[in-house]
Amino acid sequence: MKNNFDIIPPEQWCKCTRPLIIAGPCSVESEKQVLDTAFQLKKIPGVSIFRSGLWKPRTHPGTFEGIKDKGFPWLKKVKEETGFLVAVEVGHPDHIRAALENNIDILWIGARTIVSPFVMNDIANILKDRDIPVLIKNPVYPDIELWIGAIERINNAGVKKIIAIHRGFHSYEKSCLRNNPLWEIPIELKRRYPNLPLICDPSHISGNREYIESISQQALDLGMEGLMIEVHTKPEFALTDKHQQITPIKLGEILNKIRTHKINPQFHNHPDLDKLRKEIEQVDFEILDLLAKRFDLVESIAKIKRKHKLSIFQVKKWEETLNRWVIKGETMGMDQNFIKNLIQQVHKESIRRQSNFPENTKE
Ligand code: PEP
Ligand code: MN
């Protein structure tokens, strides 16, 4: 596995300011639709790249699967008449050949394509030593290694203009969002590969235009370097993803409102912050000491259970523990989901210790 990617940052290949803003319709639908959207986007400061899908990966057949090659002349007009760099999604070597023949500036690989190492290999082979930027979305399910593996394949093919896009992860849990952001995954990606540009796609996380602004703000607060947002002149008539697309005017309003951050070293080393960080460090150690104490008690319980051939997991006891945590946590003003996740992790480790399961390992 690579320790580092060989990357050319977007500031060097597009005239973009920070945050990098990519905007445009989910799908190319008609010449008028893409041109109208692009002209309106041109009036919004900060938008540097126009996105739109020609081939749409739809869950069910028989739905609108994209305008396909027919849309190339329309995107050519967008390029010529607005000066935007134009990005399309590619999910197959044939799409890449067509996009390259039609002078598309930037390619992106979608969440459903990233999950297949076979397809990613074929895509990497076609891209070998091409100078075209490639944006790589996270896979639909939360596997950071799969995301990194896809980036590796493209980077190993000699493509250096790469940006990772965080678009959230499929989840069976019910939520108001279409995809679970699982912010810890993009944070971990950035921790491992600080030079890999990382932007957020709040449209596919939200699934609903109501949340675009707050998800965008959260992404920028976490240090993401840009946003890819779906924009349509008439979102309610869009052929795909109509609930999450916003108008160009709305995009302008959101970009005006959201706070962007400058890295200010003086602020980051503020003496008050240093003092508070020291206190947090102390609390962290206390939490670890208490956890160690808890696991010691678990070991004692395990011995008794083994001796008397009692089952390790007792659902009633687990339910009591869970309720105890949730009730106590709530009286202390803590989020219920956070408390549940925390005790679930602690409980999982307790069970693992009692049954001597090996630590989770990955191929
Ligand atoms: C898209 O950007 O329109 C798209 C299909 O995205 P994703 O691959 O994130 O679902
Ligand atoms: Mn879409």
Q: Which residues pair with 86 in a beta bridge?
A: 50
| Ligand 2 midpoint to CA 241 (Å) | 5
Domains of the chain: 10-257 (3.20.20.70), 267-355 (1.20.59.10)
Around ion ligand 2, which residues have CB less than 5 A away?
A: 26, 241
* Per-residue pLDDT, 363: 44
pLDDT beyond 90 at 251: yes
* Per-residue pLDDT, 264: 59
* Per-residue pLDDT, 361: 44
pLDDT beyond 60 at 256: yes
Q: Tell me whether the omega of the peptide bond preceding residue 271 falls within 30 degrees of 0, making it cis.
A: no
Atom index in ligand 1 nearest the CA of residue 57 equals 5
Atom index in ligand 1 nearest the CA of residue 113 equals 8
What is the average pLDDT across 121-135?
A: 96
Return the C-alpha torsion angle 81, 83, 89, 93, nearest 10. 90
Identify the three-state secondary structure at position 116: coil
Residue ranges of alpha helices (H) inside 161-270 are 184-192, 202-206, 212-221, 248-257, 265-268
How many of the other CB atoms lie within 10 Å of CB of 2? 13
Write out residues with Cβ below 6 Å of ligand 1: 26, 53, 57, 89, 110-112, 137, 167, 201, 204
> Percent of the chain beyond pLDDT 90?
86
Secondary structure (DSSP) of 268-297: HT-HHHHHHHHHHHHHHHHHHHHHHHHHHH
| pLDDT bracket for residue 101 (50, 70, 90) | very high
Residue ranges of alpha helices (H) inside the chain are 31-42, 72-82, 93-101, 111-114, 117-127, 144-156, 184-192, 202-206, 212-221, 248-257, 265-268, 271-307, 315-331, 336-355
* Per-residue pLDDT, 358: 57
What is the average pLDDT across 263-288?
A: 86
| pLDDT bracket for residue 360 (50, 70, 90) | very low
What are the structure tokens assigned to 38, written together?
């692009």
| pLDDT bracket for residue 15 (50, 70, 90) | confident
What is the average pLDDT across 126-151?
A: 97
pLDDT beyond 70 at 362: no
What are the structure tokens assigned to 149, written together?
């593996």
| Ligand 1 midpoint to CA 117 (Å) | 18
pLDDT (tens digit per residue) in 322-350: 999 999 999 999 999 999 999 999 999 99
What is the average pLDDT across 12-41?
A: 96
The closest alpha carbon to 241, from 144, 74, 110, 48, belongs to 110
The closest ligand to the CA of 239 turns out to be: 2
* Per-residue pLDDT, 271: 87
Instruction: Kindly report which listed range (25-29, 277-281, 359-363) carries the lowest average pLDDT score.
Output: 359-363
Ligand 1 pocket, mutate which of 201, 239, 243 (most atoms under 8 A from CB): 201
pLDDT (tens digit per residue) in 215-240: 999 999 999 999 999 999 999 999 99
User: Mean pLDDT in the chain?
Assistant: 94
| Ligand 1 midpoint to CA 110 (Å) | 5
* Per-residue pLDDT, 155: 98
pLDDT beyond 90 at 17: no
What is the average pLDDT across 16-23?
A: 93
Q: Which residues pair with 143 in a beta bridge?
A: none
| pLDDT bracket for residue 3 (50, 70, 90) | confident
| pLDDT bracket for residue 55 (50, 70, 90) | very high
